[in-house]
Structure 1
Amino acid sequence: MLYISLRQYEYVCAIGRHGSLSAAALHLNVSQPALSNALTRVEEQLGYPLFARRRGAAMALTPQGRSFIDEAEALLASAARLENATDRDVGKTRLRLGCFVDLAPFLLSRALRQLRVQMPDVAITYRVGSFEGLISGLIDGRIDLALTYGLSMDAGFTQQTLFTSTPHALLAPDHPLAAHSDVSLQDLAAYPLILSEEGLSAQHVLGLFRQIGENPTVAHRAASLEIQRSLAAHGEGVAISYANPPAHTSYDGMPLLSLPVSDPFTAEPVVLARHGTGPSDTQIATAEQALSDLKP
């Protein structure tokens, strides 16, 4: 026997999409009490809450709520497809991938190709963002999986290490360190740095220097990796980046050297992350397996 009606599924999905009873009621043109009653009955039937209710804040989905709504939306789409046999894409499920902005040029295209080969019936969408944007997207369900560095993620996330990345120092060919095959943080501490303006990235690099008791001068905080590379090529300082394009010139054609940082403790894992620590559903597990051997 079915204890939850399609209408109740529709109401709960609308609340999840719009973030509040009032917005969902306006969208569906029904009363807020009708939505509230439907949500209460569904949660009572399931035996667990779908939303975290906080006074004065939007109704945030719990991990179980996100899973329920994904499956409910798929159920509603299947029902709609039965009513309209000419709509062939209505029941197609989706996977939302996130990727850290500096990793995207190296990993995103490969990840999309691998997912589409392994999951041809799933609609793959993606979002490129900062550390904070990806973490926020994972928490509120806008992103299912994220390719990122393991910075700032707490025990509430599941992380699968894909590979380990070593930082590189980017500098002009006439820099005093240019003859070295690699450099240490101690070598770099005497020179002005060019860091990313992405907050957690810059904090991480400066934290590495603090571990050896150094507090170097920051000459620039660049909005992108290519701006870092250009500033370094023009002798504005040493850029430090975990992303290491194979090109030996900057965008504006200036020669550029890339030297690995030799301190072992600077290595940072690149991870495939999702919110929650319990078992993943079948679709997420398939995606995790498809991306398990992803390399730049």
Structure 2
Amino acid sequence: MLYLSLRQYEYVCAIGRHGGLSAAAQHLNVSQPALSNALTRVEEQVGHPLFTRKRGAAMSLTPQGRRFIEQAEALLARAAQLENSSAEGPAAARLRLGCFEDLAPFLLARALRLLRRELPDVAVTYRVADLQGLVSGLVQGEIDLAFTYGLTLDAGFSTTQLFANSPNAVMSPDHPLAGREHVLLSDVAAYPLILSDEGLSAQHFLNLFRSAGQTPKVAHRAASLEIQRSFAAHKEGVAMTYANIPAPLSYDGTPLVSLPVTDQIAREPVVLARHGTGPLDALTERAQQVLAELST
């Protein structure tokens, strides 16, 4: 039995497209109460809110609401096709993947290959961004699932841990620490640091040192991982990064040494994150199951 009408789907899609009841009502030439009643009916039927409503703020889609509207628009397009045989077919299912820029060289290509193999009928797009960019994309519903570090996420996100990374201290081969098999934060704190200029990443490392009772000096905040490695190779300090690049040379061919930092407090989970804690739609749930293979 069908409990919702195409008109109700159309009204909810209009609210989503126009960002609120007033603009949607004006576009459709219907009353705001009619739209509000339709939205209430749809939300009651699906069992969770499609929009967040805060006094004095515009309505914004929840992750479940964005997915609902995508599916509802596909349904409306299919209905239009039935009425007009010359219309184009419904849009393909879509999945929007995000990946933290330092994790992308290690995870992104493998993730795309898995998704294309297991979900061949799904159009997969991706965005590589810094930590704050991923959070913003998830909150705005522009990213469905993202590979990131758990340190950026609050209780408004759901996460699945894939594995945990330990940071690495990168330095020149003749650095006083270079002959060791591993180092501690207290060892590294005696030397100038080379951190990323990505604010959350740099702050995370500084907090780790503070937790270990150390106050290191920061020599450089580099715009990329390879600039960090180049500075380290040329004896500008010790680069701190969670990206364990196996290459023993910087881009300009200068030798490097990378040592694991073994403090337990420094281990950081790599997670597959989504915004919201409500139920998953079938596509996102299946994609999450597929991407969990990257934990092995």
TM-score with structure 2 length normalisation? 0.89
Distance in 2 (CA, whole Å) between partners of 1:150 and 1:10 is 37
Give the conservation status (yes or no) of the 8 Å contact 1:107–1:295: no
Distance in 2 (CA, whole Å) between partners of 1:275 and 1:149 is 14
1:50-109 deviation per Cα after TM superposition (whole angstroms, max 9, x unaligned): 322334433211344234213212312433454456745x33111111111110111111
What amino acid sits opposite 2:134 in the alignment?
Answer: L
Give the conservation status (yes or no) of the 8 Å contact 2:150–2:269: yes
Report % sequence identity. Answer: 62
Q: 1:147 to 1:213 in 2, by over 3 A?
A: same
1:44 aligns to 2:60 (yes or no): no
Q: What residue is the counterpart of 1:161 in the other structure?
A: 161
Cα offset for 1:252?
Answer: 2.0
Give the conservation status (yes or no) of the 8 Å contact 1:4–1:42: no
Q: What residue is the counterpart of 2:201 in the other structure?
A: 201
Distance in 1 (CA, whole Å) between partners of 2:230 and 2:24 is 48
Q: The residue matched to 2:161 in structure 1 has which SS? A: strand
What amino acid sits opposite 1:161 in the alignment?
Answer: Q
Q: What residue is the counterpart of 1:214 in the other structure?
A: 214
Q: What residue is the counterpart of 2:250 in the other structure?
A: 250
1:94-138 deviation per Cα after TM superposition (whole angstroms, max 9, x unaligned): 111111111011111110110111111111111111222212222
Q: What residue is the counterpart of 1:237 in the other structure?
A: 237
Report the number of matched residues.
Answer: 292
Q: The residue matched to 1:161 in structure 2 has which SS? A: strand
Runs (5+) with no aligned partner, structure 2: none
Q: 1:116 to 1:81 in 2, by over 3 A?
A: farther
Distance in 2 (CA, whole Å) between partners of 1:39 and 1:72 is 17
Q: What residue is the counterpart of 1:267 in the other structure?
A: 267
Distance in 1 (CA, whole Å) between partners of 2:214 and 2:150 is 24
Distance in 1 (CA, whole Å) between partners of 2:80 and 2:252 is 53
Give the conservation status (yes or no) of the 8 Å contact 1:189–1:216: yes
Runs (5+) with no aligned partner, structure 1: none
What amino acid sits opposite 2:35 in the alignment?
Answer: A
Q: What residue is the counterpart of 1:57 in the other structure?
A: 57
1:70 aligns to 2:70 (yes or no): yes
Q: What residue is the counterpart of 2:277 in the other structure?
A: 277
Give the conservation status (yes or no) of the 8 Å contact 1:8–1:39: no
Distance in 2 (CA, whole Å) between partners of 1:22 and 1:256 is 60
Give the conservation status (yes or no) of the 8 Å contact 2:21–2:35: no
Cα offset for 1:148?
Answer: 0.6
Give the conservation status (yes or no) of the 8 Å contact 1:95–1:124: yes
Q: What residue is the counterpart of 2:119 in the other structure?
A: 119
Distance in 2 (CA, whole Å) between partners of 1:186 and 1:179 is 16
Distance in 2 (CA, whole Å) between partners of 1:49 and 1:40 is 14
Give the conservation status (yes or no) of the 8 Å contact 1:167–1:241: yes
Distance in 1 (CA, whole Å) between partners of 2:9 and 2:179 is 66
Q: 1:154 to 1:170 in 2, by over 3 A?
A: same
What amino acid sits opposite 1:285 in the alignment?
Answer: E
Distance in 2 (CA, whole Å) between partners of 1:249 and 1:112 is 28
Q: 1:21 to 1:230 in 2, by over 3 A?
A: farther
Q: The residue matched to 1:177 in structure 2 has which SS? A: coil
Distance in 2 (CA, whole Å) between partners of 1:85 and 1:95 is 27
Give the conservation status (yes or no) of the 8 Å contact 1:16–1:69: yes
Q: The residue matched to 2:262 in structure 1 has which SS? A: coil
Cα offset for 1:295?
Answer: 5.1
Q: What residue is the counterpart of 2:92 in the other structure?
A: 92
